[in-house]
Amino acid sequence: MTAQPIRLLGDPVLRSRATEVVDFDKEFHGLVRDMWDTMEATGGAGLAAPQIGVDLRVFTYHCDGHAGHLVNPVVEVLGEGYQDGPEGCLSIPGVSVDCRRHLEVVATGWNMYGEPIEVTGDHLLARCVQHEVDHLDGVLYVDRLEPRARELALRAAGGER
């Protein structure tokens, strides 16, 4: 499998809602493996398909002692707690800003073979799942910041082209 180039802030693919996966075939398995290789090669905690230019609802993750992938994820918030903490993104290199996220979530979806799976996480894993699902919806973490913090983060990143 092969690591792929990361799409950066300003690329339109990062601003569109990704398409549901319907074909769980060998080509799709190869995509998930390429995503894993890309995530590992770049040192990311997660990677969504749009970050490598692919318009599909799938992400990989390797954070907080948990690793895997999730296809067509649906996230449900557990409890009312929130966490504020540093967040970065492979598509916005060199910028890390505190971002508010739900403290605990459960995500349901499928694995690359079309089998149902569920990922429940809190703290860092919950942050990672929410961040990656945002990517699948065309949302970047900087969009969740207060206006002034967003402006500073975008300026530090060189702006959105």
H/E/C letters for each residue in 23-41?
A: CCCHHHHHHHHHHHHHHHH
Query: Which residues sit in the known binding site for Fe cation?
Result: 89, 131, 135
Q: How far apart are CA 140 and CA 122, in angstroms?
A: 20
Active-site pick, 80, 132, 146, 160? 132
Does the active-site annotation cover 132? Answer: yes
Backbone angles phi, psi at 88, to 5 degrees: -130, 180
Query: Which residues sit in the known binding site?
Result: 89, 131, 135
Enumerate the active-site residues.
Answer: 132
